[in-house]
Chains A and B, each alone.
Chain A
Amino acid sequence: METASFWGRVRRSEAASGLALISPTALYAILLLAAPLVTVVLYSFAQSEQGKIIWDFSLDNYIRIWSAPNVQLIMLRSLTVAASVTLATVLLAYPVAYFVSFHVAPSKKSLWLFLITIPFWTSYIIRVFLWKGIILGYNGVINTVLMGIGITDEPLQAINYNAGAMVMTLAHAYAPFAILPIFVSLEKIDRSLLEAGQDLGESRMMTFWRVTLPLSMAGVIAAVLIVFIPTIGDYVTPDLIGGGKVPMIANMIEVQMLKQNNKALGSAIAVTAMLIVCVVSIVFLLLNRRFLSGQK
């Protein structure tokens, strides 16, 4: 009797119902995401010999990575490319998010958002292919335009296969990712604050600078992180647009893991990449913490 009522209480308790309900999804994520990530971290401290893992705890892999000039170069390049893509995407996205939030009739807002997100849902590989072949190619749109307006006489060879082309392709791919969080934070702004600003004699520009922008910074910060993190780990664009000549972190992980079959070293590179992303994100959040406090 005693135990029955105990179990009855447990079953009715909110915590138990919640945990029971979420357990299938949580277990899936633990087994297929958390466990593999932990394995990679463990591998990074082990050694690979002829494709076999030897459990010999050491920091050798990390020392090898950090002292290799080509690894440093690739890490630095990945950071630069990801930072440029993030800067371009967020700067270009902000006015669009602002326009949709402040100047589009409420009934039309979801149509605009839908139009903005559609390209994001179409095949990434097809879009990269289009950039490579049609827009940046030897006979592509950019060369045609450049020759048409007389800037060059013959097609430029070099617009493919470089970091600039990669930045453009990636900035195009991640554009909607930047617009949505900024839009959400702009939507949350109490419009009467803006009127108050103007009533108190601020110009339209100053109201934007001193009221709207600081209040929407939470969205900008979210946009920065949501673009920066996947971009730094992108594999397809460096492989296809860069033509393998300008590898980034993901390409280096592939080479070590599969082509060299050195799982331990590959794991160490993956962990290093994740650490760099974490450090950059935390530093960025700390730098902007004044915009995040007091909101929610």
Chain B
Amino acid sequence: MKFPALKTYAVVYLIFLYAPIVLLPVFAFNDSKVIAFPLSGFTTEWFTQMWGDQQLFNAVKNSAIIAVSSAVIATSLGVFAARASTRFQFPYKAGIMGLIMLPMVLPEMIISMSMLVVLLAVGIPLSLFTIIMGHVLITTPFAVAILSSAFQSLDKSLEEAAYDLGETPLSTFRLIILPLVMPGIVSSLLICFTISIDEFIIAYFLGGNQTVLSVYIYGQFRFPAKVPSILALGTILVALSIVLLSIAEYFRRRGIAKTGAKDTGGFL
């Protein structure tokens, strides 16, 4: 603790990062239609009001379908890419990996518009399916990043030992590699699910007339009377994200501990 100033700064920075998330439940339970200080009293009315919204239920259902499908497909694609890039050397590797990871930095507006142009040209109607196509594209890089670190920490001699003992590549993958990277897979599924649930731009432009959770929230911005119930919804969403991320982090760490590697930090 040689630098108390630096530590103070870091703590203030964390408070700044968390301020909106902390204020969210404060106003979600506040007994006033106007979002302002001072607070006027405790109520759960906004949660009840939110619960009674049929449109919202529909949006939640759509979001759940999309998020589960995207997470499963993106993680499967991520396993292929992560395994290939950590285990093999092949031509155009940097180029191919660069293309797969590109959606991580490319603005989502560019991705959604270019996909929209092609979907319209080919004549594929916009639906939940087209949102899934987009979400798989943007979540795959995150799956690859998480799974690469899981595959990277694998000891190659375990695999060679399995071959020497007469296992085929497929059975080695199933019996040796898969169990060792399982925590990485779980962590990837949870992260992809979280990204997909929260994603707005692709869901907004590629969804046609199907509404998902983030688009529903966006639509409610225009109605000041709906604000408190959106805060209630936001509270639940943020809590859900934090729970899923904590589970993902737990599995990520367990995976690293399992293969005996050193923990180097966060997800990215």
The answer, among B18, B113, B266, for a CB contact under 8 Å with A117, is B266
Task: List B contacts of A273 (CB < 8 A).
Answer: 107, 110
Task: List B contacts of A163 (CB < 8 A).
Answer: none
Task: List B contacts of A53 (CB < 8 A).
Answer: 121
Residues of chain B touching chain A, judged by Cβ–Cβ distance below 8 Å, are 1-3, 6-7, 9-10, 13-14, 16-21, 23-24, 27, 34-37, 77-78, 80-81, 83-85, 87-91, 93, 96, 99-100, 102-103, 105-111, 113-118, 121, 133-134, 136-137, 140, 144, 191, 194-195, 197-198, 200-201, 205, 214, 217-218, 221, 227, 230, 234, 237-238, 241-242, 245, 249, 253, 263-268
The answer, among A30, A172, A187, for a CB contact under 8 Å with B16, is A172
With A15-B90, A100-B10, A253-B113 given, name 8 new contacts (CB 8 A). A18-B84, A25-B84, A29-B137, A37-B110, A37-B114, A96-B13, A134-B27, A273-B107
Q: Which residues of A25-56 have CB atoms within 8 Å of chain B's CB atoms?
A: 25-26, 28-30, 32-37, 39-40, 43, 53
**Are B96 and A26 closer than 8 Å at their CB atoms?**
yes
Judged by DSSP, the binding face of A is helix
Task: List B contacts of A254 (CB < 8 A).
Answer: 109, 113, 205
Task: List A contacts of B137 (CB < 8 A).
Answer: 28-29, 32-33
A9→B242 CA distance, assembly (Å): 49
**Are A118 and B268 closer than 8 Å at their CB atoms?**
no
Task: List A contacts of B227 (CB < 8 A).
Answer: 133
**Are A40 and B114 closer than 8 Å at their CB atoms?**
yes
**Are B84 and A95 closer than 8 Å at their CB atoms?**
no
The answer, among B6, B84, B241, for a CB contact under 8 Å with A21, is B84
CB of B16 to closest CB in A, whole Å: 7
The answer, among B6, B80, B197, for a CB contact under 8 Å with A103, is B6
* 27 residue pairs from A and B, CB less than 8 Å apart: A14-B89, A18-B89, A25-B140, A26-B99, A28-B77, A36-B118, A40-B117, A117-B245, A118-B241, A119-B20, A121-B198, A121-B245, A122-B237, A125-B214, A125-B218, A134-B35, A139-B36, A144-B36, A176-B17, A187-B265, A230-B107, A236-B201, A240-B221, A254-B109, A254-B113, A257-B117, A263-B117
The answer, among B13, B85, B110, B115, for a CB contact under 8 Å with A92, is B13
Across the two chains, which residue of chain B brings its CB closest to A119?
B17
Task: List B contacts of A32 (CB < 8 A).
Answer: 115, 133-134, 136-137
Considering residues B14, B109, B242, B268, which has the most beta carbons from chain A within 10 angstroms of its beta carbon? B109
CB of B138 to closest CB in A, whole Å: 10
